[in-house]
Structure 1
């Protein structure tokens, strides 16, 4: 039976009951009394309908399944249906709210910036990445025009021209961004920003590395090829000239070999396929070997001392030896004759600490932050005189990164330098 038919049957039954009651009252107490009782019954039914209409109106002002009133008669079925509808709406709203919360959480975790704007570019929502990229603040800037917040002529031209099919490369707030506007629905647009600052820096480092490596290899190859050409064209070279040429070619060949070995070492240190293999390192024995090599390189031109009171550590023996040897070798190469070099290995509250201090030529402050860059040299002519490849401190940096250690540099021109390696306490061998 359909709900509509049930409603009308129920209404007819109630009216029929009132009419029967009226007829009975008229039979027992007279027509006037029966009529009055019938009118009272109809008025009562009418008042009940008005009462439930008022309750329905009140509920519609603040609809909630928990506040829905109970009904009487046909109102029972009406309120029951409303309750089911409202419960369904509340369930759908809860699901939508959950999906919206998940969406916003996902957007907040994206590395790319997302800005939702209306058709006239007023800010509706943005994620934290967009706030960082464009300097926005959702709490303060919501409802403001994005073009008033992103002060960039390039961005303004991109908006005015409306050629959104091509992304915009934008330099903004010391960042390099790729911005792209995507029309969304009829009255909304999405602005997506991608930070390419780091990738641009890596590409630049890669280009610089290739250029520098090519330049470093070109010089010894030019020398060797030049001497070989001379030797092939002049077969009657005297022994002294020939020996001098052979000596210079040998030096340049050794320089190329050192350069290639250092580049291969850097490649291995940066590769995830070659993780460090921890082993117990006897630091006293290692530093004594480095001290002997330092004396041999110095050839008695410097005073070199060693203080070793620190503990043994766990790490890659070859990598740690390479890093510490590079620091000591640099101190010897850049310290004039009769200079003093102090090597120390001590234990601190932060962990073991290695230090090399000299009274050499020193380094200006503007160069210190770039010393660990590949092929970076403070004085290129002096670096070539000391037979450096320009990769020593880059190797040191990567070795220390693999062992979670930090390199600290203190230097004053014409006074000296101090290179410190702070290892974490967890590296100490039990």
Structure 2
């Protein structure tokens, strides 16, 4: 049916009924009384309409579906339609609020920084990553010009030139960032930042590792190839040939040890090589490390052990590699007649393995870099001691896999102490102690 008829027909019927009733009363009791009654009815109807208009006006100030009146007559249909419209609006608003909350949560978790600006670069919103990358604070900096907050010459040139099709790499706040501005809508722009500091550091480490590994392998290969060429071109006496073969054997063993250490490091860093924890008999482990150190020392040092601590959960092979590297370093860098002490003991935080020596010691400026690959305090001495430069890097990665840390205390000319700190969670406690806990 036509909507106009739906409105006017009921209204006309209600008016006709009221007027008919007034006419009937006027015919029965007199026309004056009928007119007065008709006038009173019309006044009541006007008052009712004004009352509903007032209720509608008040509702529009705070349009909530629960507060909408029921109405009478035509107002019933009006309020019913308003109720449906408001319910739809509330549903859409709830969905929009939910999506906005999801969007903000996603933006908060995003590792890349996102800054929303207007067309003249005034800050409207930024996520936590952008605050971290650019030093912004949303509450404090909202409404301020981004170029006044990010003071970097390359960034300023990027803004002025307006070549936003290509990203820009800048160094800012001790970070290397890739930034790009993306225009969207008519009067807004998005500034996206990506922190490549760690990836750049890893790439630099990779380049250094390849360069150092190539250098370390090239030296013994050069020696071996050189001696082979001499042997092929000249007639050598038995003594010279024996000396050359001895040197080539030493260089071959050096390459073999280097490759073994490189493979060990690669295996420790691989996600496909998980830690297989088992109970490690620490006394047996430390005694084995002592025997290995004594074999390397060949009687030139006094090596003692002290064991007063529990067993641990971990990999016997990996811990033997870590403890053994620390002990062998102590042997290599302690002059003949020196003392080396291997200690395993319980501590408040867990347990400690310590390697104490009376060797040449290490200057303070070198200590923080000792676990870097191929880092050597004295390269010439390392070659003499046949070190690969990867021993402490292996120790570091083994300890990371065992949730442990390495502490180094040393002073040039006064010996060194290397301390492996293992947490309580790695200890195998006696059964009685376990029951108490």
Output the TM-score relative to the length of structure 1.
0.96
- Residue 99 of structure 1 deviates from its aligned partner by 0.7
Mapped partners of 1:230, 1:415: distance in 2 = 45
Mapped partners of 1:52, 1:292: distance in 2 = 100
Mapped partners of 1:123, 1:375: distance in 2 = 47
Alignment of 1:88-237 (within 5 A): 88-235=88-235, 237=236
Alignment of 1:278-427 (within 5 A): 278-427=277-426
- Residue 201 of structure 1 deviates from its aligned partner by 0.8
Deviations 1:346-402 (A, max 9, x none): 112222210011222222222211111110111111111111000000111111111
Mapped partners of 2:120, 2:40: distance in 1 = 63
Deviations 1:143-191 (A, max 9, x none): 2211111111111111111111111112111111111211122221111
- Residue 418 of structure 1 deviates from its aligned partner by 1.0
Bigger Cα displacement from structure 2, 294-303 vs 251-260:
294-303
- Residue 333 of structure 1 deviates from its aligned partner by 1.2
Mapped partners of 2:240, 2:334: distance in 1 = 33
Mapped partners of 2:410, 2:22: distance in 1 = 113
Alignment of 1:48-127 (within 5 A): 48-127=48-127
- Residue 408 of structure 1 deviates from its aligned partner by 1.1
Deviations 1:272-329 (A, max 9, x none): 2222222322211221121122222223332222101112222221111111010011
Bigger Cα displacement from structure 2, 241-250 vs 204-213:
241-250
- Residue 200 of structure 1 deviates from its aligned partner by 0.7
Mapped partners of 1:394, 1:245: distance in 2 = 32
Secondary structure, counterpart of 1:121 in structure 2: coil
Bigger Cα displacement from structure 2, 192-201 vs 297-306:
297-306
Deviations 1:53-109 (A, max 9, x none): 111111111111121122111111111111111011001100100011011111111
Secondary structure, counterpart of 1:423 in structure 2: strand
Mapped partners of 1:44, 1:287: distance in 2 = 104
Mapped partners of 1:245, 1:298: distance in 2 = 25
**Superposition RMSD in Å:** 1.5
Mapped partners of 1:210, 1:309: distance in 2 = 42
Secondary structure, counterpart of 1:353 in structure 2: strand
Secondary structure, counterpart of 2:313 in structure 1: strand
Aligned residues, how many? Answer: 429
Mapped partners of 2:116, 2:45: distance in 1 = 55
Mapped partners of 1:359, 1:66: distance in 2 = 85
Match of 1:276 in 2: 275
Secondary structure, counterpart of 2:158 in structure 1: helix
Bigger Cα displacement from structure 2, 106-115 vs 286-295:
286-295
Match of 2:432 in 1: none
Bigger Cα displacement from structure 2, 394-403 vs 25-34:
25-34
Secondary structure, counterpart of 2:428 in structure 1: coil
- Residue 32 of structure 1 deviates from its aligned partner by 2.9
Alignment of 1:1-16 (within 5 A): 1-16=1-16
> What 5-or-longer segments of structure 2 have no aligned partner?
430-437
Secondary structure, counterpart of 1:198 in structure 2: helix
> What 5-or-longer segments of structure 1 have no aligned partner?
none
Bigger Cα displacement from structure 2, 272-281 vs 329-338:
272-281
Bigger Cα displacement from structure 2, 142-151 vs 324-333:
142-151
Match of 1:254 in 2: 253
Deviations 1:18-57 (A, max 9, x none): 3223323432343333222222222221221112111111
Mapped partners of 1:417, 1:127: distance in 2 = 47
Mapped partners of 2:419, 2:4: distance in 1 = 90
Mapped partners of 2:346, 2:94: distance in 1 = 59
Bigger Cα displacement from structure 2, 141-150 vs 20-29:
20-29
